[in-house]
Structure 1
């Protein structure tokens, strides 16, 4: 029997007030489509305070799960976050083709606050992933080449590569064994894990008996969606094209929790400080830049860019970007610079 949600009508009214308060921000992030070719990437973050949002995050989201282990055709285990060694910027068939046409097309998000979203005042795409995409383009493209940012939904990331709609995807995409069957990944550029995001007044404490009969939302074909389907629980599942849609469903009172990774949740808490993460991280995941299998020269080139971008503790563009976009919305020490991992 489905558990009755107490005060659903009143909760809906309270959340509607939050929607109104955050209307300008949401209006700048819910559009789904493609940017005009040659769209520029503006510098700097949007204004806004972070103290209330930081307080809403859980204080110690230490992963309790082990990283996924893959197996090759012979059954030999390997780390999915390992990628080919970086190569010198000497070109190759894929990189040469990109420069011959004079543009690099990168699939990105425009619905993830602080990661990839439309800045309300300018309408431009900004965020942690957007800054990384610009750094890759600056290195890969010959002088005069254009960066094209193409917004794609969560469920279209692999298909956008398969259909040659984009050259790569920089869109908070977790490296998994299943995805490695369809795409090639760079070395990791961020580590995170799946967790539940709920209103601060919620009685939900994690993916346990407290979600019995409630509705948990996730983005279609996301790691969160797969994790919810493979784990035992008594929640009802809801899927939407993007995880921001799930946040709106909670604000409207039509869902009780959102499953996403704690890194993306930082953006949700920044948008709506009445939300908080609960329970332990259920997975250990790494984000990677996704490319087509066979585009080995591009993968190695991107890995070289990432090595320079991540840098070291004394010189790290990655750290600068993290401090600009994310550090105020994650607990201190929750995230560190990723370590490159190679398989050859």
Structure 2
């Protein structure tokens, strides 16, 4: 056992006390974002403006979409007024830099959660789970995913051109023929003309396309390659992150479920079941 002298002990104590202001400063800095936003009187959110149904301009040039509605929920939670918000139009590669440099308080831009990104930002709880789906014509000879799979190499699937496109389709339909197209418009054109039996695309895009064209298309009923979408805050702002998480959690399971469900149905055409009362289902 090593003994220290009274003099050495005093030096250690003085050194610890000298660090206290730095520790207090770091702690207060990490906890001050919520109060900063409240004091400012409005929320600053980074998002996009060209990707329906997530964030895009409507015919009146208003910014709308599911991401926009999620951001408005946070503004409502802060100020009881969803209009107290300023949107910063940003590119996808600016989502993290704008948080790090304090240009925005929150990024809501269909951001996929990955471990590498989680080292750079603080992710909120997911507000949507994306995946790949198969869009069919409503009058297709194939009733659903099982019928497509049973048809084997008789099935032609249209997909947006990508280095992983064939691998992606074959993960769901191993024997299907894969036709790649340079644009989404050409992909849907192939489906509409009968050159393709199905179109493989993001589940959210599939649902939005069905909303825009009621009665013309149907979902095969199968989705794969899941990925979580979350908003993000600057890393280290734990109090701020906790607040946004409360907003999203209660929107999906509690007091603001009506607003979340209405938005979900508007953009994806899906009516969500009411959360069960009693024991919280998320803890089962």
User: How many Å apart are 1:302 and its aligned residue?
Assistant: 0.5
Structure (1/2) with the larger strand percentage: 2
When normalised by structure 1's length, the TM-score is 0.51
Aligned residue among 187, 192, 199 for 1:250: 187
> CA 1:264/1:253 → structure 2, altered by over 3 Å: closer, same or farther?
closer
Larger radius of gyration: 2
Task: Indicate the residue corresponding to 1:268 in structure 2.
Answer: 209
What is the root-mean-square deviation of aligned Cα atoms in Å?
4.6
Task: Indicate the residue corresponding to 2:261 in structure 1.
Answer: 322
User: How many Å apart are 1:215 and its aligned residue?
Assistant: 3.5
Task: Indicate the residue corresponding to 1:190 in structure 2.
Answer: 128
Aligned residue among 164, 178, 185 for 1:235: 178
When normalised by structure 2's length, the TM-score is 0.59
Q: Are 1:296 and 2:233 an aligned pair?
A: no
Contact 1:169–1:290 (8 Å) recurs in 2: yes
Q: In the TM superposition, what whole-angstrom CA distance separates every residue of 1:299-344 from its partner, at most 9, and x where no partner exists?
A: 11201222343353xxx323334235517964666x66598979xx
Q: Secondary structure at the match of 1:250?
A: helix
Q: Which runs of 5+ in 1 are unaligned?
A: 1-90, 241-245
Q: Which runs of 5+ in 2 are unaligned?
A: 1-29
Q: Secondary structure at the match of 2:72?
A: helix
Task: Indicate the residue corresponding to 1:132 in structure 2.
Answer: 70
Contact 2:43–2:105 (8 Å) recurs in 1: no
Task: Indicate the residue corresponding to 2:52 in structure 1.
Answer: 112
Highest RCO, 1 vs 2 (Cα 8 Å, sep ≥ 6): 1
Q: Secondary structure at the match of 2:61?
A: coil
Contact 1:128–1:322 (8 Å) recurs in 2: no
**Distance in 1 of aligned mates of 2:228 and 2:154:** 27
How many residues in Structure 1 have an aligned counterpart in Structure 2? 233
**Distance in 1 of aligned mates of 2:141 and 2:65:** 32
> CA 1:291/1:264 → structure 2, altered by over 3 Å: closer, same or farther?
farther
> CA 1:298/1:110 → structure 2, altered by over 3 Å: closer, same or farther?
farther
Alignment of 1:1-344 (within 5 A): 92-98=31-37, 103-113=43-53, 115-120=54-59, 122-140=60-78, 146-152=84-90, 156=92, 159-164=94-99, 166-177=104-115, 179-191=117-129, 193-200=131-138, 209=152, 214-217=157-160, 228=168, 231=171, 235-237=178-180, 246=184, 248-253=185-190, 256=196, 257-261=199-203, 263-273=204-214, 274-312=216-254, 316-323=255-262, 326=265, 330=269
